[in-house]
Amino acid sequence: MNNYIKNNTGILIRIDDVCENMDWDLMKKLEVLFDKYSIKPVLGVIPNNKDEGFLSFSRNDNFWDQVRKWQDKGWEIVQHGYTHIYDKLCRKKSDYFNYGGGSEFFGHPLDIQEARIKKGLEKFKKEEIKIRAFFAPNQTYDENTFIALKNNGITEIIDGYGLMPYTEKNIKFIPQLFEKVILLPFGIQSTKLHTHTWKEIDYINFENFIKKNSNQIITYDQALAKINNNFFYKFLRFITTNVLKLKRLRLKKDSEYKIKEA
Ligand SMILES: [Zn+2]
């Protein structure tokens, strides 16, 4: 039993919003840290960033060279949207994972979603970057997003609920549950790190987490190898889905209440 738990507990490091404009000093520090502990993270690269939120960071004109270097190290490069512009609002949390909020994909007709995925993939191809997985900005998907991805040969997504990677709609999902970097006592899941928002203390906390848990950090291929669709994990997925949706709803209500109070 102990061995079973050990073999089925791990965390995949996913860094979001990788684009030309980043905190490059921080990225260098992270790279040194990952090399020291032989960690191969997943990088969510925006193929054609137009999100002005990132433009206050310094621009790396050799960005695609850098991405190729990361790929050569065995880091997994993943498509993260196309321009990262939210041009639809997902009201009433009607998206697939019930996050709600701004969307680059959810709510658009299939041809628009497909064109964005295709143009992104063309950019990666031109830059000689191999892509096999995707995750959407703000985690907002609808049925058309899944069809658009499959029509473009992408059948792996790093998002979802549950305690183990799973297959649904002929797509492989690697669960991503929390904002914070948390290692659960059991299960396989991915982080989502938004380094654009990090302060010094966030790096220190993350470094301490890595030092303590480096033997539990897995690669993208190791995560894929853990896909399990048995009844027990389906049941756990049902539970975590409902608990997390409820928790987010409650957090939202609390914050709304605070605004009213103030
Ligand atoms: Zn993003």
CATH number at residue 92: 3.20.20.370
Q: How far is the CA of 230 from the centre of ligand 1 (A)?
A: 31
How far is the CA of 245 from the CAs of 63, 107, 186, in angstroms?
37, 20, 20
* 136 Cα to the center of ligand 1, angstroms: 7
Reading the chain (262 residues) residue by residue, the pLDDT tens digits are 788 888 899 999 999 999 999 999 999 999 999 999 999 999 999 999 999 999 999 999 999 999 999 999 999 999 999 999 999 998 877 899 888 899 999 999 999 999 999 999 999 999 999 999 999 999 999 999 999 999 999 999 999 999 999 999 999 999 998 878 888 888 999 999 999 999 999 999 999 999 999 999 999 999 999 998 899 889 989 998 888 887 776 665 544 333 333 3
Ligand 1 centre from 17 Cα, in Å? 5
How do 101-103 and 88-90 pair as beta strands? antiparallel
Closest-CA residue to 104 (of 152, 145, 52): 145
Residues 224/133, Cβ–Cβ less than 8 Å: no
Measured in Å, residue 48 CA sits from the centre of ligand 1 at: 12
Residue type, 6: K
Residue 260: inside a domain, yes or no? no
Number of structural domains (the chain) is 1
Residues linked to residue 156 through DSSP beta bridges, in sequence order: 172
Residue 138 CA to ligand 1 center (angstroms) comes to 6
CA of 95 to the centre of ligand 1 (A): 16
pLDDT of residue 262: 30
Exposed/middle/buried for 260, CB within 10 Å: 0-12, 13-18, 19+?
exposed
**Which residues are within 5 Å of ligand 1 (an ion), measured at CB?**
16-17, 137
pTM reported for the whole predicted model = 0.92
Report how far ligand 1's centroid is from the alpha carbon of 8 (Å). Answer: 28
Residue 190 in any domain: the answer is yes
Only one residue has tokens 């987490």, namely 209
Residue 159 inside a domain? The answer is yes
- 21 in a domain, yes or no? yes
Phi, psi of 172 (to 5 degrees): -90, 125
252 C-alpha vs ligand 1 centroid, how far in Å? 20
Please give the residue range of the domain that contains residue 46.
2-228
pLDDT at 242: 87
Whether 223 is covered by a domain: the verdict is yes
Distance, CA of 106 to CA of 99 (rounded, Å): 11
- Classify strands 217-218 and 187-190 as parallel, antiparallel or unpaired: unpaired
**How much distance in Å is there from the Cα of 38 to the middle of ligand 1?**
25
* 262 domain-assigned: no
Please report the pLDDT score of residue 52 as a whole number. 95
Distance 84 CA to ligand 1 centre (A): 6
Burial class of residue 35, CB neighbours in 10 A (0-12, 13-18, 19+): exposed
72 φ/ψ angles, rounded to the nearest 5 degrees = -65, -25
Whole-number Å distance, alpha carbon 51 to ligand 1 midpoint, is 9
Q: Classify residue 104: in a domain, yes or no.
A: yes
Distance 23 CA to ligand 1 centre (A): 15
Q: Establish if 135 belongs to a structural domain.
A: yes
Q: 16 C-alpha to center of ligand 1: Å?
A: 5
